[in-house]
């Protein structure tokens, strides 16, 4: 017990000594000329800092106002921007849209109640390319002409898909039931025309004309010209030839008239026949096939009037 008491006394002495040393350090005299250094930003630096903070705040407010104004003017919504709407099927444009650069799309559709209009100040060009980027087809709508460049051009009917018009390097096919030419000058063909039927409009005339050259109609099994309710006229300036190499020329009509045939002279010995007007003539044929008329008599008078064959 004496030993523990001694330990407690020693600890008290050590604590007292530490307290005295700490008190003496606090009571030491301070230097009179000690300098103080303030901590922080003062003076013109502080004013510049406040100015830059204020300028940054104004810039942020202006940017926020401009952003809100752009969103309001461009009509930004969750679905799109302005007339541009983003849907599940693609992009939908409403109203008039202008494209300053090429447009690459797969399909272009208009609304069901409005047409699709493509407009340009110069021309509208639609190009089609293959997987290698090579140009395979082109459609150009310009101010002077509409040009299509492709291997084959087709126009089909909307109902059954029937080809109405097709053109390629070899031929041009018109599949319509009727081809109608309404121009005042008609249709001009630079080469031959093959057709099974040529017909004019009802109550209209059909005219085939070659102004400076000949007009030839050929058919291996025959050419038939029919006028069911009118006349058939063949007019020429020089000669009209009817030729059949193997068959015959058949004229079938109630009356056959040959006008402007030359008339031969015949002197009759009968005085009564000279005074009366000649009303009956005899049709005669020269050896070269020329026809002429000779006044009819009691017998044949062709031999007496055959002098007309000498100067024919």
Summarize pLDDT for 1-53 with one digit per residue, the tens: 555 555 556 655 656 666 666 555 555 555 555 566 666 677 788 889 999 99
Instruction: Give the whole-angstrom CA distance, residue 155 versus residue 166.
Output: 6
Res. 62 pLDDT band, cuts 50 70 90: very high
**Per-residue pLDDT tens over the stretch 197-231:** 777 777 777 777 777 888 888 888 888 877 777 78
The whole-number pLDDT of residue 245 equals 84
The whole model's pTM is what?
A: 0.40
CB half-sphere exposure, 278, CA atoms < 13 A = 16
The whole-number pLDDT of residue 17 equals 63
CB half-sphere exposure, 175, CA atoms < 13 A = 12
Instruction: Give the whole-angstrom CA distance, residue 174 versus residue 165.
Output: 5
Domain ranges of the chain: 42-75, 280-311
Residue 262: exposure state from Cβ atoms within 10 A (0-12, 13-18, ≥19): middle
């Amino acid at each position: 017990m004496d030993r523990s008491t001694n330990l407690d006394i020693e600890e008290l002495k050590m604590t007292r000594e530490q307290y005295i040393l700490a008190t003496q350090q606090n009571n030491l005299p301070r230097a009179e000329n000690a300098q103080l250094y303030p901590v922080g930003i003062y003076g013109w630096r502080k004013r510049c800092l406040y100015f830059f903070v204020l300028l940054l705040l104004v810039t942020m407010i202006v940017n926020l106002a401009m952003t809100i104004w752009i969103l309001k003017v461009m009509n930004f919504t969750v679905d799109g921007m302005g007339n541009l709407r983003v849907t599940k099927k693609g992009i939908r444009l409403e109203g008039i849209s202008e494209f300053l650069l090429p447009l690459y799309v797969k399909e272009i559709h208009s609304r069901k109640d409005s047409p699709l209009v493509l407009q340009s100040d110069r021309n509208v060009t639609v190009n089609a390319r293959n997987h290698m980027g090579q140009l395979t087809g082109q459609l150009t709508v310009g101010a002077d002409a509409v040009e299509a460049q492709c291997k084959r051009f087709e126009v089909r009917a909307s109902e059954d898909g029937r080809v109405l018009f097709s053109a390629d390097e070899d031929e041009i096919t018109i599949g319509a039931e009727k081809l109608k030419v309404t121009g005042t000058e008609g249709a001009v063909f630079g080469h031959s025309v093959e057709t099974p039927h040529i017909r004019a409009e009802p109550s209209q005339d059909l005219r085939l004309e070659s102004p400076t050259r000949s007009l030839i109609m050929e058919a291996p099994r025959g050419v038939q010209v029919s006028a069911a309710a009118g006349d058939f006229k063949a007019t020429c300036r020089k000669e009209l030839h009817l030729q059949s190499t193997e068959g015959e020329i058949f004229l079938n009509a109630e009356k056959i008239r040959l006008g402007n045939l030359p008339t031969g002279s015949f002197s009759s010995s009968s005085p009564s026949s000279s005074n009366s007007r000649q009303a009956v003539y005899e049709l005669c044929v020269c050896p070269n096939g020329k026809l002429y008329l000779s006044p009819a008599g009691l017998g044949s008078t062709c031999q007496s009037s055959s002098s007309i064959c000498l100067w024919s």
